[in-house]
Amino acid sequence: MLDQLNRVNLLFDIYGSLLTERQQEALHFYFSENYSLAEIAAEYKISRQAVYDLIQRALESMENLEKKLGLYKLFNEQQDLLTEADALLLQTELKERDLKRLKEIIAALRSSNEN
């Protein structure tokens, strides 16, 4: 559940500006402010079902954008590489293979940013 919430929040950070203003607001109320469907419905003067549909369409839009653009996946891959590099740098003594791996990580990060 928490992983899904983190995914939604990160997708919103990446793709939120591409949603309609109403979709942005509904997602913000629901996921950031913890409003219930009923509270959002009262705010917009629509049914809870309409709010649910609005949120589902917004989530679907972000998932479709992710399938096409892959920015969430790229971000996670870069974070994994940076975590690995950080762990290597925390070692008191770097071995030759560690330096080689750091160079590979740097090359992979540069390559992913060029695409």
Shared domain check, 60 and 28: yes
Structural domain including 88 reads 73-114
State what percent of residues in the chain have pLDDT above 70: 97
pLDDT at 40: 97
Q: What is the pLDDT of residue 94?
A: 79
Give the contacts of 40 (CB within 8 A, at least 6 positions apart): 26, 29, 30, 51
Whether residue 57 sits in one domain with residue 9: yes
Identity of residue 95? K
pTM, two decimal places: 0.77
Residue 92 CB neighbour total at 10 angstroms = 4
Are 86 and 64 found together in one domain?
Answer: no
E-assigned strand segments in 12-56: none
What CATH number has the domain bearing residue 32?
Answer: 1.10.10.10
Average pLDDT, integer, range 81-102: 83
Shared domain for 40 and 56, answered yes or no, is yes
- Shared domain for 61 and 6, answered yes or no, is yes
* Residue linked to tokens 């793709």: 15
Q: Are 62 and 95 members of one domain?
A: no
